[in-house]
Amino acid sequence: MSEHHTKVLIIGSGPAGYTAAVYAARANLKPILVQGIQPGGQLMITTDVENYPGFAEVIQGPWLMEQMKVQAAHVGAILMSDTIKSVDFSKRPFKVIGESGAVFMAEAVIIATGAQAKWLEIPSENKFRGYGVSGCATCDGFFYRGKKVAVIGGGNTAVEEAMYLTNHASEVTVIHRRAKFKAEKILQDRLFNNPKIKVIWNHKVEEIVGTEEPKSVTGLKLTNVSTNEVLELLVDGVFIAIGHRPMTDLFKGQITLDEHGYIAAKLGCTETNIPGVFAAGDVQDKVYRQAVTAAGQGCMAALDAERFLAAKG
């Protein structure tokens, strides 16, 4: 069993984690970053990225994460392939244990474990993910200018995604398995008043249909949940908007979470209720959920950790 001591331990390796590593390393804090079960986070399943600043041409999500990883290592961060299984934030130095049995003792911890979009979990969804199936309208809506798209869901996220997509798509169809939305009334009113949006109630997605060459979505097979009748719908893209799940199971009982399971960070910074523990990216951000905002919070977390350590001497 190996034991590692560090001033700053970073848990997670998406844009927030890698950016925190870059800033902490440049502050000579010699951070250790534990990459977790999916190094690179959600961008590893994102194909075209054209809203990350600094790149005039479309770039690939996995390529962007590989560049961040190389940069973090280049400036001196230690990257470790392990997954954290338990944490003890009851006293400093904090004790964190990996699946490998490795023990990490850290004066400060930055949590950047992210969140995962909830998916329908049907085979055709996996087949076309990144080729017409998306979990983020603000990331991918631009690719559907003048096209027909569907949004799956009935909560605030689904209604907001549908409204956003009307800026690009010619027609937006919201598909909900129930007879009414769970979304806030004011959002529903806006949706019902938008001429570009129609709603199909009481239907679930049975299959996402598409072509092999080139791989792209062409439509949906829907089933009426009451009658089992099948409805076919022609669309060019499908946005799954049934919510996100923050990756915080590991931290329950150790740190304050909000009612949705996100880490409760203090307003305007990345501090949590535990002095010396910071949270950055989608693990604490349920509003923006963008690679660039996650990276910005990674920078903030490293600076917050640096100031915390300096104050502790």
Catalytic residues: 136, 139-140
The sheet with strand 203-211 has its strands ordered as 203-211, 216-224, 230-234
Q: Which of 37, 23, 26, 30 is nearest to 9 (CA)?
A: 30
SS3 35: coil
Which residues have C-beta within 8 Å of that of residue 185, sequence separation ≥ 6?
none
CA dist 139 and 146 (Å) reads 17
CB 190 within 8 A of CB 160: no
306, 14, 256, 253: CA torsion to nearest 10: -110
Q: Which of 218, 277, 230, 215 is nearest to 251 (CA)?
A: 277
CA dist 201 and 174 (Å) reads 8
Instruction: Report CA 216 to chain centroid distance, whole Å.
Output: 23
Instruction: Report CA 228 to chain centroid distance, whole Å.
Output: 34
CB 22 within 8 A of CB 122: no
CA dist 165 and 155 (Å) reads 16
CB 30 within 8 A of CB 76: yes
CB 244 within 8 A of CB 116: yes
Between vectors from CA 302 to CA 34 and to CA 251, what angle results, nearest 5°?
A: 50
